[in-house]
Amino acid sequence: MRRKIIRFCHGLLTAVELLLMIAALVYAGYSLWDNRQVYDQVENVTRDLREIKALNGDDPLSLFDQLRFINPDVHAWITMEGTSIDYPVLKGKNNFTYIDTDVYGNFAMLGSIFMDYHNSADFRDIYTVLLGHNISGHRMFSDVNLYKDEAFFRQHTTGILTLADGDHDLMTLSCMVTSAGNSLIFFPKNWDYLTPAQIYESVLEGAMHLNPEGLRLLKAMLDAGTDVHIVALSTCSTEYSDARTILLTLMDPMSAKASIQHPAFALCAGECLE
């Protein structure tokens, strides 16, 4: 009788183990399918938006008319040379609005690229911070982490910020890894109280890589008393629990309207490489 009980218990345990294994396989399969659905959703949205941009790339007013018909919170489009960063930029009522919402207003785990809600939507602040998730497969802002590699950082120094008035050149300044609690990086209005010298030092502080060309340009503009507009790209990093990779870039405020670069940009183009 004891042996029968033991055999029964052994058989029951084997059956339970088998059921648990099947359940684990089913769950793993569902997780893979669910992840694929999430990524497909993002890729479909991204493809649709990039098609709109491709069709209207020479006419920013038409581009933003269409984008804002989809969502009036779209205020810019950012593209960084040599990366997959090529997305519209939104601004929500707070910094949670687009953390898990796509441009169509649908729930999306990968969210959207968005600016800090304290920033001015026209990018006229001294400092604007853009935020996006670090998603595998070169999605959203994951490629910001590419700039941590020194060779990549040195070889890729430009980008374009498209606004309703046209394209504005971006030039990299520095790359750093910092805490999500960094009050200067993540509280844009703090830059309004900095002197020109402090602005320059803030770009240098904690940097792992610096772009001499961009720094010379920044200093020339600060010394001339010209308004500067720094655009930061932020995403999660893996160094520690709240680590963030930050790429600081300098925006040319005149390149769109005048179809020429700001005088300091033009000056630097001829001298910074010497």
> What are the residue boundaries of the structural domains of the chain, listed by start?
66-271
pLDDT at 262: 54
Over residues 219-244, the pLDDT tens digits come to 999 999 999 999 999 999 999 999 99
Phi/psi region, residue 213 (left: phi>0; alpha: psi -120 to 50; beta: rest), is: alpha
Task: Return the structure tokens found at 85.
Answer: 């960063």
pLDDT-derived band at 17, boundaries 50, 70, 90:
low
- Three-state DSSP at 257 gives coil
Which letter does DSSP use for residue 227 in this model?
Answer: -
pLDDT at 30: 38
pLDDT at 147: 98
Residue 149 pLDDT > 70: yes
Query: Is domain 66-271 classified as CATH 2.40.260.10?
Result: yes
Over residues 169-213, the pLDDT tens digits come to 999 999 999 999 999 999 999 999 999 999 999 999 999 999 999
Cβ pair 210, 204 in contact under 8 A: yes
Cβ pair 215, 183 in contact under 8 A: no
pLDDT-derived band at 35, boundaries 50, 70, 90:
very low
Over residues 243-254, the pLDDT tens digits come to 999 999 999 987
Q: Phi and psi for 132 in degrees, rounded to 5? A: -160, 155
Instruction: State how far the alpha carbon of 188 is from the alpha carbons of 13, 23, 77, 129, 174, in Å.
Output: 60, 48, 20, 7, 17
One-letter amino acid identity for 230? I
CA–CA gap between residue 16 and residue 25 (Å, rounded): 14
pLDDT at 29: 46
Contacts of 109 (CB under 8 A, 6+ apart): 38, 100
Give which of 170, 177, 179 is closest to 149, Cα–Cα. Answer: 177
Over residues 258-269, the pLDDT tens digits come to 444 555 555 454
CA–CA gap between residue 28 and residue 37 (Å, rounded): 14
pLDDT-derived band at 43, boundaries 50, 70, 90:
confident
Which ranges of 166-262 would DSSP assign to H, the alpha helix? Answer: 183-186, 196-204, 212-223
Range 133-144 average pLDDT: 91
Task: Please state, as a whole number, how many other Cβ atoms lie within 10 Å of the Cβ of residue 28.
Answer: 10
Task: Return the structure tokens found at 25.
Answer: 């396989």
